[in-house]
């Protein structure tokens, strides 16, 4: 990897597991897998950078752990079948590893579905980074998208600081942490490229793809806002992987999760 593509000394990537969900694999990988249930992780990532601490996604709200049916509604709670304890919520995870929520300077959101943005309200002092299209969709979603956007997750963030993005965004200005616009799953989805000094570039896809099959075989999940944009995004992820020689980490893929270091271990 060229020196120009390496992140600064001290750049680290930590991973937290914020519970799991059970789903039929056919939702992500096509009808041939119908009836095959998989347990999928719901991660959040902390990036330590000399200029700040960035959280990429937040996992679900702690209220899902306390009363999923009361918070999400019976239908959605049963459909997602989330397994989560209160200590799995991101505020407790950070505390357990020596951080306060006020230590987080940036919160970058891949999108604002309940399993990625449920912990937003814990970070009133952070600067939020999210595509403008995603913000607009979250506050006024189209009818068929409404069930995955939980208004109570972010109503308290109305006065928080938001940077509304219109494409790719270099978070710290040195090329080490870059948000990539990867729409398709939602109108304003982003992935995150982290150029680590020792482990090399890591591409955190979030929900741009849901399973390795999507990336390698161009099989589309059945839950995408725009299949056409999803195809373009998959090609972009493949291009970034090739150009950067990046390790691709798919948020909800159980096999990727099994191979990933968890906090307090890290990639650097």
Domains of the chain, start order: 3-259 (3.60.15.10)
Contact predicate 192/45, CB 8 Å: yes
Give the SS3 label for residue 43: strand
Q: What is the mean pLDDT of residues 224-252?
A: 96
Q: What pLDDT was estimated at residue 18?
A: 97
Longest dimension (CA), the chain: 52
Residue 87 to residue 219: CA distance in whole angstroms:
35
Among 47, 36, 7, which Cα is nearest to 266's? 47
Residue owning tokens 């897998």: 33
Q: What mean pLDDT value characterizes the chain?
A: 94
d(CA 233, CA 224) in angstroms, rounded, equals: 12
Residue 1 has pLDDT above 50, yes or no: no
Least confident of 6-10, 229-233, 248-252: 6-10
Residue 93: pLDDT over 50: yes
Band of residue 7 on the pLDDT scale cut at 50, 70, 90: confident
What average pLDDT does range 55-60 have in this prediction?
Answer: 99
CA distance 248 to 263: 18
The model's confidence at residue 142, banded by pLDDT at 50, 70 and 90, is confident
- Cross-sheet strand order for the sheet of 201-206: 169-170, 177-181, 190-195, 201-206, 247-250
Q: Residue 85's CB: how many other CB atoms inside 10 A?
A: 11
Non-local CB neighbours of 98 within 8 Å, separated by 6+ positions: none
pLDDT tens, 187-197?
A: 999 999 999 99
Give per-residue pLDDT as tens, 29-39: 878 888 889 99
Segment 49-67 shows an average pLDDT of 98
Residue 223 has pLDDT above 90, yes or no: no
pLDDT of res. 6: 79
pLDDT > 90: percent of the chain: 85
pLDDT: which is higher, 35 or 43: 43
pLDDT band at 11 (very low <50, low <70, confident <90, very high): very high
pLDDT of 2: 47
Range name among 10-19, 29-38, 44-53, 172-181 with the lowest pLDDT average:
29-38
Does pTM surpass 0.85? yes
- Taking residues 230-234, what's their average pLDDT? 96
Average pLDDT for residues 5-12, to the nearest whole number? Answer: 87
* Residues near 69 by beta carbon (within 8 Å), at least 6 away in sequence: 77, 78
């Amino acid at each position: 990897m060229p020196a120009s593509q390496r992140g600064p000394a001290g750049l680290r990537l930590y991973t937290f597991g914020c519970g799991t969900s059970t789903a039929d694999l056919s939702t992500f990988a096509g009808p041939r897998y119908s009836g095959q249930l998989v347990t999928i992780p719901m991660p959040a990532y902390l990036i330590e950078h000399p200029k700040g601490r960035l959280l990429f996604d937040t996992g679900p709200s702690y209220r899902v752990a306390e009363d999923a049916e009361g918070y999400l509604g019976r239908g959605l709670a049963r459909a997602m079948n989330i397994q989560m304890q209160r200590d799995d919520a991101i505020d407790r995870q950070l505390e357990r590893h020596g951080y306060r929520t006020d230590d987080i300077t940036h919160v970058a959101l891949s999108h604002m579905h309940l399993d990625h943005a449920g912990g937003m309200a814990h970070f009133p002092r952070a600067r939020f980074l999210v595509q403008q299209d995603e913000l607009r969709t979250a506050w006024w979603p189209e009818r068929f998208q409404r069930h995955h956007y939980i208004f109570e997750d972010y109503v308290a963030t109305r006065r928080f600081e938001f940077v509304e993005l219109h494409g790719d965004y270099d978070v710290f200005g040195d090329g080490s942490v870059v948000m990539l616009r990867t729409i398709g799953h939602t109108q304003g989805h982003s992935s995150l490229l982290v150029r680590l000094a020792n482990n090399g570039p890591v591409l955190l896809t979030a929900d741009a793809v849901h399973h390795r099959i999507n990336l390698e075989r161009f099989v589309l999940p059945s839950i995408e806002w725009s299949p056409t944009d999803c195809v373009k995004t998959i090609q972009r992820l493949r291009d970034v992987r090739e150009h950067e020689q990046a390790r691709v980490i798919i948020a909800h893929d159980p096999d990727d999760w099994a191979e990933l270091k968890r906090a307090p271990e890290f990639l650097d």
